[in-house]
């Protein structure tokens, strides 16, 4: 009877579930395919608002012209200046803080952890003006410092919370063995905890990369007055004003493809670890 039920379940899955999932995937992928298609269309085809998904002709030269009218290399370098500290801060500083909360007993730990969690409930817009005033008085306006220093110091409490939940699932015996061998707490964190936390570290790295790579608001506030410091997000937004919206629409789509491709590549490489990190953090916590 179980074999018959299993066969019926398999038939139902193939008949109903897989087609529905495939259709949903196509619906979700359509905006990306449309962006890629539009980036390879000529100006005439774009302004005609054709519904054709496959461009004719394929205007691959749009990407060449994009690099000629927009300093994409400069914007990419500036973006990496923001992204790299965000990843380092998320992996090193946040993991150190998470290890302290998860494995070290110290006075006021519970109260400090509750305060940390409370900062996650505070909307980012509420902090925007006070932070701008602070950074402006420090003389950090029109520089990368407001975007680099907080991220390098592990400013996102979500990363710490995620890491804490995972670290609590590491057997205490491993840490005790390291301490008996003479490892300090920092050595235990580096030699035992970090090598055994690859899934959650990959998840944090992907999140940090995504948030910093796609960030538009903060670079606009702190870097908007200096075009030499613009990131890719600001450069993409500036294309709206390049000889009018219609004229630059295909360039905008080409720029969008260039911004989306690294995110897709990073997620494709690290999706396995990302799912494991998020899932295991929830289960073990």
Domain boundaries, the chain: 2-61, 63-284
Q: What is the pLDDT of residues 138-159, one digit of tens each?
A: 999 889 999 999 999 988 899 9
More confident residue, 28 or 273: 28
pTM of the model: 0.84
Question: Quick one: DSSP state of residue 216?
Answer: -
Residue 77 pLDDT = 95
More confident residue, 122 or 9: 122
Q: What is the pLDDT of residues 214-249, one digit of tens each?
A: 999 999 999 877 889 999 999 988 887 654 444 578
Residue 59 dihedral angles phi and psi, to the nearest 5°? -90, 70
Q: What is the pLDDT of residues 244-273, one digit of tens each?
A: 444 578 888 899 999 999 988 888 887 777
CA 215 → CA 40, 79, 132, 220, 233, distances in Å? 26, 9, 16, 9, 7
Q: What is the pLDDT of residues 51-67, one digit of tens each?
A: 777 787 888 889 998 99
Residue 285 pLDDT = 43
Residue 222 dihedral angles phi and psi, to the nearest 5°? -95, -20
CATH superfamily membership of 63-284: MetI-like (1.10.3720.10)
The pLDDT of residue 70 is above 70: yes
Neighbours of 239 (CB within 10 A): 22
């Amino acid at each position: 009877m179980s074999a018959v039920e299993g066969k019926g379940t398999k038939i139902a899955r193939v008949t109903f579930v897989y087609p529905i999932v495939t259709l949903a995937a196509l619906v979700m992928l359509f905006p990306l395919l449309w962006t890629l298609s539009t980036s390879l269309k000529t100006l005439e085809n774009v302004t005609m608002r054709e519904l054709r998904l496959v461009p004719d002709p394929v205007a691959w030269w749009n990407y060449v012209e994009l690099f000629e009218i927009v300093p994409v290399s400069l914007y990419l370098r500036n973006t990496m200046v923001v992204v790299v500290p965000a990843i380092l801060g998320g992996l090193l500083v946040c993991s150190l803080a998470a290890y302290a909360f998860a494995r070290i007993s110290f006075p006021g730990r519970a109260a400090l952890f509750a305060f940390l969690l409370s900062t996650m409930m505070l909307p980012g817009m509420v902090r925007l003006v006070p932070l701008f005033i602070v950074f402006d008085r420090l003389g950090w306006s029109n520089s990368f410092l407001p975007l680099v220093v907080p991220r390098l110091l592990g400013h996102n409490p979500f990363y710490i919370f995620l890491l804490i939940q995972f670290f609590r699932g590491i057997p205490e015996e491993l840490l005790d063995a390291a301490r008996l061998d003479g490892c300090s707490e920092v050595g235990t964190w580096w030699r035992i905890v970090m090598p055994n936390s690859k899934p959650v570290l990959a998840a944090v790295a992907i999140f940090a990369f995504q948030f910093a790579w796609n960030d538009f608001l903060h670079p606009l506030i702190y870097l908007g007055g200096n075009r030499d410091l613009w990131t890719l997000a600001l450069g993409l937004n500036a294309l709206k004003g390049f000889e009018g919206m219609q004229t630059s629409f295909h360039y905008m789509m080409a720029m969008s493809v260039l911004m989306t491709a690294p995110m897709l590549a990073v997620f494709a490489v690290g999706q396995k670890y990302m799912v494991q990190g998020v899932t295991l953090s929830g289960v073990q916590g």
